[in-house]
A and B are shown apart, each in its own frame.
Chain A
Amino acid sequence: MSALSGGEATRLLVVWCPDWPVTAASVAAGIPLHHPAAVFSANRVVACSATARSNGVRRGMRRREAQSCCPGLAVLGMDSSRDARLFEPVAAAVEELVVGVEVVRSGVVAVPAMGAVSYFGGEHELIERVVDHVSGSTGLECQVGIADGLFTAVLTARRGVVVEPGAAARFLEPLPITELVSALPTEDNGELVDLLRRLGLRTLGQFAELSERTVSSRFGRVGMIAHRLARGLSERPIDRRRPPEELAVVETFDPPLDRVDAAAFVAKTLAKTLHTELGTRDLACTRLSIYAVTATGEELARTWRCAEPVSEGGIADRVRWQFDSWLRVAPADGPESRPNSGVVKLRLQPEELVDASMLQLGLWRSVGGDDDTDERAGRALVRVQGLLGQTAVCTPVLTGGRGPGERVRLVPWGDPRDDADERPWPGRLPAPSPATVFTERIEVTVTDDRGRSVAVTERGQLTSPPRQIEVAGHPARHVLGWAGPWPVDERWWDPHDDGMRARVQIVVDKGDALLLRFRAHARPRWIVEGEYS
């Protein structure tokens, strides 16, 4: 593990799965990988598959725009825990060939190349073995590159090339400066790269030519990191500490931990303990190993490497992802690769530490920092849960169903939100849907022009056109227009069902529009289901 922590750029082999979020989402949704697909967050494309890209879909596009470029596009939601969970088999496959695997992020693993190269008899032989083994054991495609330093190695993996030792700077020279964006701390938000580009520095080589002193006085800490990367050095200077052993956080579980939701809870508390522990020593962690021992004595380990010091939430997320993949992913190629019982002991070991000043959170509200917004919102929602109870705060998920109320499932805050089911559902009324969906049953009488009450026949027709409706306790209202009935044929197998048979839309005087529901076997027969305005 310590091979990566040296200050000088170490020779690394990087395995990169292209468009990982899309691959993971497609696998999870059962969509074939050659089908055009894109992952969306906040209505914008965050990743798209190669077929979607060849149809003109680009990152940052709005959903509608992307769908107009590529009508068959599968729209998938973002879910980092799913990405991490499905990536575990890839990391495990690489680990079967080479030791010391570190997950950089979902979709990218790095591993020290030196030993493996001499064992397999050459870099190209090693690459061939890795690509074969990953596609053989997981069925997924990956690209491999070897170079000095993580940044360069990731770029070589994207291009599928090998850069000779010491030639990193020459390889980086002609590459566009925008390659730096993903490697820099997120606090920077791409501002530095944008600035450099506007200053006329278009390639990494041009930036690397500046002297270190010039860069440090003008662009600060982020500039220094970028400059080191552009010169083919490792991102952090040599100054780093060996973490003392006692910083590790150990937790034992009795009974064994075997549920993902319990693991998520444990992840939160362990992350808090570790983070406070580090915080009191003024340290922050950039590489974290997660060790687990199962009830049958199996030992599992995985190291996560982060581009920047991880926050408390970051630690919790990684622990949770790791658990998720250990506990949920089905055995791929033999029982020995997965735990077959719950986890009894868990150890978090910081592998690499830096000064906590590198983890300075913004004092002022950041304008574009979405993570920060999400974190603040999450804290506020947890506080309200403390006031009102866990189920009192929900986020809605749209699901299948016909009625406006049935289409919504409320998920308590903190529980996993499953992806919305956006497939067509026969029998739905078209948009718009009512803005108010009454939770209580509001009784209403519907009468025709001769005062007879209106009903829906077995054949799904109204006995007579409605002229007037009256909600108990309110004056009668005149019907200006109506549409329907739309028959609903469901739950006919249930003897206790109220035999709901149809929905009718009605516009009454003063411009209000209502959605009424007719029930054949229940009293009252008509109820107001929703109001549109």
Chain B
Amino acid sequence: MSEVALLQIIGMCVIGVGIVILLFIKGMFLRVIGFVAMVLGAFSLIALSVPQMASLPPAVETFDLASVKSPDDLASIGQKIFFSKGQCALCHSIGPSESARCPDLNGIGAKLAPEFIYESLTQPQAYIYLDFRHDGVPKEYPARMPHIDKDPIGLSKQEIYSVIAFLQKMSGEPISVKVEDIMGPAQEQEKAASLKVAALSSIPSFEKTEKPSSVDR
């Protein structure tokens, strides 16, 4: 017997007891208890009649290195991450959208260097790209760009690279992220070091902002 069926039987029994009390018991306090039991039993039965969905914790998504043979594979994985684990599409649109709370990412892969995109994802408050300054009526629900490599999203470096590959491909750019870049920890560290983008300050469209305070975890 399933859990729902068992609970339904219990709910019906509770209602039945309530009905019996109301029909045959004269004591007013007990009648009130019977009435409350009927109400609660009915509530449970109604709740059991709607779709029963439990919220299960998500499986930990892993980056399947073996499946990546070409930059296009990387972009394909990046697209999945963009619309799922990365939660990018919750705020960003690809193309104009009035309801989007954050900048339109159409063509972003062509506009920005991958190194800068990487830093925007991992240190979002380090520099603000002035082209994304919002004009007009201020948005009531401004979303603050989260650190994408930290909880609750927590993308790995490889996953971030794949998202960058997707953004480049979507913008019609050749994918500059190489498959080798994501292959191993040693390369990963090297790549991360090379992405420190020391030369970013030379780009005129960047504005330095205050460093964010650290998150205490």
- Asked if chains A and B come from one complex, the reply is no
